[in-house]
A and B are shown apart, each in its own frame.
Chain A
Amino acid sequence: MPNLNKLKNLSGKMSIVGVSESDQIGKVPEKSPLALHAEAAINALDDAGFHLSDVDGLFTAGWSTLDIAEYIGVQPRYTDSTSVGGSSFVIHIAHAIAAISAGYCEVALITHGQSGRSDRAPQERHLGIPMVQFEYPYGIIGPPSSYSLACSRYMYQYGEDRTRNAMAEIAVSTRKWANLNPKAYFYDKGMTHDDYHNSKWVSWPFHLLDCCLVTDAGAAIIITTNERAKNARKKGVNILGVGEGHDHSMISQMPDLTKAFGIKTGPQAIEMSGISINEIDLAMIYDSFTYTVLVSLENIGFCKPGEGPDFLLEKSIKPGGNFPLNTNGGGLSYTHPGMYGIFTIVEAVRKLRNEAENRQIENCNLALAHGTGGLLSSTATVVLGI
Chain B
Amino acid sequence: MKNDYNKPLPIPQPESDKFWNGLKKKEIWVQKCSSTNQYQFYPRTHCIFHNQNDIEWVKVSGDSTLFTYAIVYQAPMHSFLDDVPYVNALVKLNEGPIIPSNIVDIEPDPSNFKIGMKLKPVFVNVNKNFTLLKFRPA
With both chains docked as a complex, state the minimum distance between the C-beta of A380 and any C-beta of chain B, in angstroms. 24
Separation of A335 and B111 alpha carbons in the complex (Å): 35
Contact call B72/A136, Cβ cutoff below 8 A: no
Which residues from 79 to 135 on chain B have a C-beta closer than 8 Å to any C-beta of chain A?
80, 83, 85-86, 88-90, 98-102, 110, 115, 126, 130, 132, 134
Which residues from 49 to 100 on chain B have a C-beta closer than 8 Å to any C-beta of chain A?
67-77, 80, 83, 85-86, 88-90, 98-100
In chain B, what residue has the closest Cβ to A153? B68
Cβ of A71 within 8 Å of any chain B Cβ, yes or no, is no
Cβ of A150 within 8 Å of any chain B Cβ, yes or no, is yes
Residues of B within 8 A of A130 (CB): 42
Separation of A133 and B130 alpha carbons in the complex (Å): 12
Separation of A148 and B101 alpha carbons in the complex (Å): 14
Contact call B11/A203, Cβ cutoff below 8 A: no
Residue count of chain A within 8 Å CB distance of chain B? 34
Contact call B73/A136, Cβ cutoff below 8 A: no
Separation of A279 and B88 alpha carbons in the complex (Å): 41
With A127-B11, A130-B42, A133-B13 known to touch, is A138 a contact of B74 (CB < 8 Å)? no
Contact of B90 among A132, A141, A144, A149 (CB under 8 A): A149
Contact call B71/A203, Cβ cutoff below 8 A: yes
Can you list 14 A-B pairs with a CB-CB distance of less than 8 A? A133-B16, A133-B42, A134-B100, A137-B126, A138-B100, A138-B101, A138-B132, A139-B75, A152-B115, A156-B68, A251-B90, A251-B100, A252-B100, A257-B68
Further 13 A-B residue pairs, CB within 8 A, beyond A149-B70, A201-B71: A133-B11, A137-B10, A138-B134, A140-B100, A141-B80, A144-B76, A156-B68, A201-B74, A202-B74, A203-B73, A203-B88, A250-B100, A251-B90
